C-alpha cells in the first residue's frame, strides 16, 4: 500500500488540463478508479492515476499549474473589492460578479477552483445560484458569505452542500482560513 497522499478530482483535473466534470465522468464510467471519503468526495490513489494516464495515453503535465481561479459573487462593491485585494495579494486570479444572473453567465463560460457566494443577491438569489452550480458540478467548492445566516434563503442554500458558511462582516483572517482549509496551504 502506498503512503502517497491521494488526489482529489480537482487535482486530477488540473494535472490533465480538463474540467472536474470530465474527471467525474471517468470515475462514474468506471474508467478511473476512485474511492469516496467521508462527505462523499472522491479521492484517486496516485498509483491508479498513473495507470489511468498510461493506459489512456493522456498527456499529464507536472508543470507548475496556473494560479487558482476564484469567483466572488456579492452585490456590495466594497465586499467584492476587499475579496479581490486579499485574494490577488495571495496570487489568486479573481473574477467578480455583482448579482446571481451575472454569476450564472460567468459560470457557464469559465471554471473556478473556489466560489465565494453571497446569498441575498438581486435578480437571482444565491440559493438558486448554488443549486445551479451543484447541478453542474457536484464537487464545486462554494463558500456562502452572508450577513443573514438565519435567513430562509441561507437555510435553503445549506441543503445544496456548500463547503462552508462565513457570516459577515468577514475579516482577512477568515478568508485566509478558508484558503488554508480548501487548498490545504
CATH number at residue 40: 1.10.1660.10
**Which residues does 167 contact at the CB level (< 8 Å), separation at least 6?**
146, 147, 149
Grid coordinates of 101: 444572473
What is the reported pLDDT for 64?
Answer: 56
Domain extent at residue 120: 69-183
Is the same domain home to 166 and 85?
yes
Task: Indicate whether 135 belongs to any domain.
Answer: yes
What is the reported pLDDT for 44?
Answer: 95
Higher-confidence residue of 39 and 102: namely: 102
Higher-confidence residue of 143 and 62: namely: 143
Task: Indicate whether 154 belongs to any domain.
Answer: yes
Total count of domains within the chain: 2
- Provide the whole-model pTM: 0.67
Is the same domain home to 33 and 100?
no
Is the same domain home to 43 and 75?
no
Can you list the positions of beta strands (E) in the chain?
7-8, 35-36, 42-44, 69-73, 93-97, 114-118, 142-146, 164-167
Task: Indicate whether 60 belongs to any domain.
Answer: no
Is the same domain home to 139 and 168?
yes
What would the mean pLDDT of 6-12 be, rounded to a whole number? 89
Amino acid at each position: 500500500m502506498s503512503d502517497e497522499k491521494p488526489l482529489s478530482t480537482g487535482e486530477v483535473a488540473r494535472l490533465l488540463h480538463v474540467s472536474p466534470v470530465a474527471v467525474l465522468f471517468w470515475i462514474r464510467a468506471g474508467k478511473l478508479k476512485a474511492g469516496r471519503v467521508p462527505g462523499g468526495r472522491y479521492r484517486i490513489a496516485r498509483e491508479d492515476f498513473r495507470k489511468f494516464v498510461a493506459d489512456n495515453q493522456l498527456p499529464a503535465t507536472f508543470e507548475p499549474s496556473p494560479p487558482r481561479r476564484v469567483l466572488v459573487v456579492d452585490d456590495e462593491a466594497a465586499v467584492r473589492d476587499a475579496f479581490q485585494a486579499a485574494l490577488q495579494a495571495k496570487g489568486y486570479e479573481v473574477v467578480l460578479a455583482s448579482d446571481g444572473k451575472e454569476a450564472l453567465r460567468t459560470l457557464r463560460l469559465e471554471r473556478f477552483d473556489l466560489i465565494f457566494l453571497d446569498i441575498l443577491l438581486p435578480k437571482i438569489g444565491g440559493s438558486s445560484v448554488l443549486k445551479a452550480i451543484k447541478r453542474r458540478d457536484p464537487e464545486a467548492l462554494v463558500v456562502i458569505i452572508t450577513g443573514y445566516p438565519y435567513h430562509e434563503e441561507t437555510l435553503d442554500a445549506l441543503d445544496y452542500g456548500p463547503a462552508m458558511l462565513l457570516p459577515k462582516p468577514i475579516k482577512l483572517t477568515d478568508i485566509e482560513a478558508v484558503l488554508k482549509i480548501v487548498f490545504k496551504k
